[in-house]
Each structure stands twice: as C-alpha cells, then as structure tokens.
C-alpha cells in the first residue's frame, strides 16, 4: 500500500509567505498554527543559521496538532559550513578557532561534538511530542566524494544517534554514473536517508543532479526551483537564488516518481524551497498546492 505524500514548504516564516500568503495582520506567534491547518509537515531552515533554543522548539511543539512532523535543517557548522562566531550560542564561542575572515571554520571534533549535543538537545520538545522528523544535513558543494567526507558523515551519524539523518549532496560528483549506486548503498547501510532534489537543468559542479531514490524508510524530495540564471549568484539571499515559480508541466514530471517513492517507502515528503514571490504570489505554497492537485488527479495519495 502506498504511503501518502506529505507536502510542505521549507520554512514557515520566510518573507514571501509573510507578505503574500499569511492573512494580513496575523500575529507572528499564530503563523505556525495557521500553516499547520493547511499542511501536515514543514521543514525548518532557520536552524541552519542559529542553534535553536529549547523554549522556541517547545513553542513549535505546542502550536502544532498531533501527527504534525517537523524536519529540522542542521546548523551550518554541523554540515561543514563556516559560520560567524555570533551565530553560535554564547557558551560555545570561547574556544572556537577562527579563520582569516573571522569565521568559525574546521573546529576540532570535540568542539563540533559540543555543538551537536546542544543542537540535538534543544529538539527534545519535538522528540517528546512525537513530532520530530529528520535532521537535514545539506552538505556544501565543496564537500566531494572522498574518504574524508565519508568519515565525517559516519561520525555525524554517530552524533545524531536515534534521530533520523537526511543527507543532501550538492557537488555533482556524488551523482556520477560510476559512483551513484555505491553512494546509495553506503547510505542505506548506515541508516542515512538520501535526499532527492529538483534543481536547474544545467551542468556545473555545484548543481546537483536529479536522481530519484530512497535509502531508508523515508523518501524525501526538495524542490529548489529551476532558475539557472540565479543559481550561482553570490551575495544575494536564498530567496533570490531559488527564485522560480513551478509550472504545471514541470511538476507533472514528478507525479510518477512520487508515486513510486510512496509505494516503496514508509514516509514520503515533498518540500518546496523556492521561497520567493512572483507577482504577489508566494512561490513555495503555490508549488505545493499545484503538486497536491496533480497528485490527487492521478490518484497518488496525499497526506
């Protein structure tokens, strides 16, 4: 029996949603509850920039109904991104090494492990409520397939413990024909969930290929948009980079892949990360609603 495809957006509080999707005047504290009346899941991406506080996470758990699932994007330092010192909680700043640009980069594992513990500890309210989905590890494009990268992922898997670990690759070499089967097998053996992406249809080392697969009972798809012109723009916002309003034809391509994933998995998720706006329309929920309609028309179960 196919599992329902649970559709949502990456973030419930980005500018496009606040300006063009939520009702005007809706208090910030009521946004997540309003979102949860329309979707059964969300991916929280603000945690990539800051380690969350347990009180904030408790609020997420309190404002969502039973059965709601929140996937949490790992803090940048956990996925080998450099971060500014002020992005760390004050109690973690003192011993962190800084690079020439004043960023925390490549700390020793004993210090990185402390960050993991504080991050994962803050998620306990969701874990306790049965609402914690997976921890999304979006690797930077300079993390390439080599022994050191695999060693780090194994170490991170140990830190995550009993939580689900979702892995998104950005460097194209992970998807090479001669390597992809081995990479998927490696993830499956270590209980890591591969993340399928929809991205611009263009060549480039930092443009992930769309390889539809699942390596655990969780099938996870992220829609980044297909704007090749903005994909490599530096210095802008994430919203500008993923500026794309999906067309019916583009999302129709996903009906059969999602049908297959839902038939082979215990949980299936589809999240829209195209968090900009087009003519006053928030792109992410527009894509989510369109995908829902297309799946329902073709009798693919939607949750």
* Pairwise CA distance, residues 28 & 48, whole Å: 20
Does 259 score more than 90 pLDDT? yes
CA 103-104-109 angle, to 5 degrees, is 165
Q: Is the predicted pLDDT of residue 230 greater than 90, yes or no?
A: no
User: What does the longest C-alpha to C-alpha distance in the chain come to?
Assistant: 56
Adjacent-strand bridge partners of 9:
272
CA distance 141 to 81: 10
Give the list of residues 6+ apart from residue 120 with CB closer than 8 angstroms, or none.
135, 159, 160, 161, 163
Distance (Å, rounded) from C-alpha 291 to C-alpha 14? 20
Q: Which burial class, exposed, middle or buried, applies to 59 when counting CB atoms under 10 A from its CB (0-12, 13-18, 19+)? A: middle
State yes or no: pLDDT of 235 exceeds 70: no
Region of residue 299 (left: phi > 0; alpha: psi -120 to 50; beta: else): left
Tell me the pLDDT band of 232, cut-offs 50, 70 and 90: confident
Q: Which two tokens stand for residue 301?
A: 């179960």
Nearest to 207 by CA among 235, 242, 172, 254: 172
φ, ψ (nearest 5 deg) of residue 32? -65, -40
Q: Inform me whether the pLDDT recorded for 7 exceeds 70.
A: yes
Three-state SS at 222: strand
Task: Provide the phi-psi class of 147: left if phi over 0, else alpha when psi is between -120 and 50, else beta.
Answer: alpha
The pair of structure tokens assigned to 103 is: 């960023």
Model confidence pLDDT, tens digit, residues 180-215 = 999 999 999 999 999 999 999 888 888 899 999 999
The pTM for the full model equals 0.96
- pLDDT on residue 236: 66
Output the pLDDT for position 285: 98
> To the nearest 5 percent, what fractions of the chain are helix, strand and coil?
40, 20, 40
- For residues 151-179, give the mean pLDDT: 97
pLDDT of residue 161: 97
CB-based contact 140:205 (threshold 8 Å): no
Half-sphere exposure of 274 (CA within 13 A, CB side): 29
Domain 5-297 has CATH 3.20.20.140: no
Written as six digits, the tokens of 58 are 């408790």
Q: Return the pLDDT at 234.
A: 72
DSSP class per residue in 40-107? SEEEE-GGGTSPPPHHHHHHHHHTS-TT-EEEEEPPGGGGT--EEGGGS-GGGSTT--B-TTSEE-S-
Tokens of 60: 């997420």
DSSP 80: T
Q: Is the pLDDT of residue 237 over 80?
A: no
Does 165 have pLDDT greater than 90? Answer: yes
CA distances to 22, 80, 86, 102, 196 from 27, rounded to whole Å, are: 10, 35, 28, 37, 34
- pLDDT digits over 92-118, tens only? 998 999 999 999 999 999 999 999 999
Contacts 24+ apart (CB under 8 A), 101-107: 104/77, 106/80, 107/77
pLDDT confidence of residue 150: 98
Q: Is the pLDDT of residue 2 over 90?
A: no
Least reliable range by pLDDT among 127-141, 234-248, 287-301 = 234-248
Question: Using one digit for the tens of pLDDT, what is the confidence trace for 19-74?
Answer: 999 999 999 999 999 999 999 999 999 999 999 999 999 999 999 999 999 999 99
Q: Are 145 and 152 within 8 A, CB to CB? A: no
Number of Cβ atoms within 10 Å of the Cβ of 288: 23
Which element (helix H / strand E) includes 156? helix 147-160
């Amino acid at each position: 029996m196919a599992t329902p495809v649970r559709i949502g957006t990456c973030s419930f509080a980005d500018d496009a949603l606040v300006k063009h999707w939520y009702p005007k005047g809706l208090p910030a504290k009521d946004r997540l509850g309003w979102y949860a009346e329309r979707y059964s899941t969300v991916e929280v991406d603000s945690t990539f920039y800051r380690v969350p506080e347990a009180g904030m996470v408790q609020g997420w758990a309190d404002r969502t109904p039973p059965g709601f699932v929140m996937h949490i994007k790992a803090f940048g330092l956990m996925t080998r991104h450099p971060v500014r010192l002020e992005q760390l909680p004050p109690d973690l700043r003192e011993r962190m090494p800084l690079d020439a640009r004043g960023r925390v980069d490549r700390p020793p594992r004993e210090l990185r492990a402390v960050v993991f513990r504080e991050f994962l500890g803050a998620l306990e309210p969701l874990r306790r409520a049965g609402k914690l989905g997976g921890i999304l590890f979006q690797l930077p494009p300079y993390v390439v397939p080599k022994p050191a990268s695999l060693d780090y992922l194994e170490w991170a898997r140990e830190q995550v413990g009993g939580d689900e670990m979702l892995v998104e690759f950005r460097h194209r070499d992970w998807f090479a024909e001669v390597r992809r089967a081995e990479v998927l097998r490696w993830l499956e053996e270590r209980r890591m969930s591969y993340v399928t992406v929809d991205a611009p249809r263009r060549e480039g080392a930092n443009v992930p290929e769309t390889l539809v697969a699942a390596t655990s009972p969780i099938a996870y798809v992220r829609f980044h948009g297909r704007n090749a012109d903005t994909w490599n723009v530096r210095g802008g916002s994430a919203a500008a980079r993923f500026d794309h309003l999906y067309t019916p034809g583009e999302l129709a391509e996903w009906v059969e892949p999602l049908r297959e994933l839902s038939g082979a998995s215990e949980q299936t998720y589809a999240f829209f990360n195209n968090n900009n706006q087009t003519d006053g329309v928030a792109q992410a929920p527009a894509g989510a609603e369109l995908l829902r309609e297309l799946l329902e028309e073709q009798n693919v179960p939607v949750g």
